[in-house]
Amino acid sequence: MDYKPGLFTTADPIAQQTGSMIDPFGRAVTYLRVSVTDRCDFRCTYCMSENMTFLPKKDLLTLEELDRLCSAFVAKGVRKLRLTGGEPLVRKNIMFLIRSLSRHLQSGDLEELTLTTNGSQLGRYATELADAGVKRINVSLDTLDKEKFHTITRWGDLDRVLDGIDAALAAGIKIKLNAVALKGFNEDEIPQLLRFAHARDMDLTLIETMPMGEIDEDRTDQYLPLSSVRQTLSEQFTLTDLDYKTGGPARYVKVEETGGKLGFITPMTHNFCESCNRVRLTCTGTLYMCLGQDDAADLRTALRASDDNAYLFASIDEAITRKPKGHDFIIDRTTKRPAVARHMSVTGG
């Protein structure tokens, strides 16, 4: 294939004819999350087994192919593009892809290019990310206790992550911390995480654990409903509901005592699917129309079939017609199997 990154833009004749992506329920798909690798330098207990079998490198799309696919979605109306993993910054030469995609920011066709990271590589890449137009990132951080951090991540170094956060802030990148609320592990630390984030002008979002992929733990032991977390927090903080949106599923409140924002992502206690504007692309070119469903579309075949994007656009259009109304996540003692077999790192967060 003779495709060169940077040559495909929404000025192309085919791109001008593509139209927007509207699913069967009238929702416009404007947000693409891309897992650039299923690999990670952590092994978080709620996300992966310690001894993971990752995809063979030969099965992954090249960075040039990922660029072409992402650019096709931009031509189809995607306005926000988030790179995820695994850990996106462990993908070899990842800055090549990020710099190439940044042309859509410069043209105005893309409103935001961002990523979700565990922070381990931020010290290395923060300045380059800022120079490429990345203005905001999400960093996963479940605890500020060094020993507990190593326990939950298995391989992680908290000091390295905190140094990476400082480097990103110094580079002018806005950071939102993501913390998975885990019963018996970090529920008592949430006020501390909140104060830590808000003191550094970072927002904090809490996430319920989701039944995706086989792990070494029992999710019924981990699951902590955020409705109860909010009730507990309201005993020491004044929480005021906000209409603030970032394009994702979080519902935000203002914490009056700190002046910062706190988000809640509640796939279990409150299904947020009615406003879903997202699809997820894997590093192998598989498109999942819903995080919590198994139905998927093979875009790699269309991508490699022709240098002409007409077939690729048609494949994307067909996939969007199959986007479901929502997911069906359940965590209880009688439902031991995960709702979907694939791990979160495969799907793209």
Residues in the annotated binding site for GTP: 33, 82, 116, 176, 278-280
Here the contacts of 296-300 (C-beta below 8 Å, separation 24 or greater) are 297/322, 299/69, 300/61, 300/65
- CB atoms near residue 58 (< 10 Å): 5
CA nearest to 44, candidates 149, 146, 197, 189: 149
Which residues, other chains included, contact 269 with Cβ-Cβ below 8 Å and sequence gap of 6+? Answer: 208, 225, 226, 227
Which residues carry a binding-site annotation?
A: 33, 40, 44, 46-47, 82, 86, 116, 140, 176, 210, 273, 276, 278-280, 290
CA nearest to 239, candidates 256, 225, 227: 256
Which residues carry a binding-site annotation for S-adenosyl-L-methionine?
A: 46, 86, 140, 210
d(CA 31, CA 257): 33
Q: How far is CA 78 from CA 7, 66, 138, 245, 321, in A?
A: 18, 15, 19, 17, 16
- Whose tokens are 């060094």? That residue is 146
* Sheet (strand 251-255) strand order: 239-241, 251-255, 261-265, 203-208, 174-181, 136-140, 112-117, 80-84, 31-35, 278-281, 286-288, 296-298
d(CA 23, CA 222): 34
Q: How far apart are the first and last CA of the chain?
A: 30
Which residues carry a binding-site annotation for [4Fe-4S] cluster?
A: 40, 44, 47, 273, 276, 290
H/E stretch holding 253: strand 251-255
d(CA 151, CA 157): 10
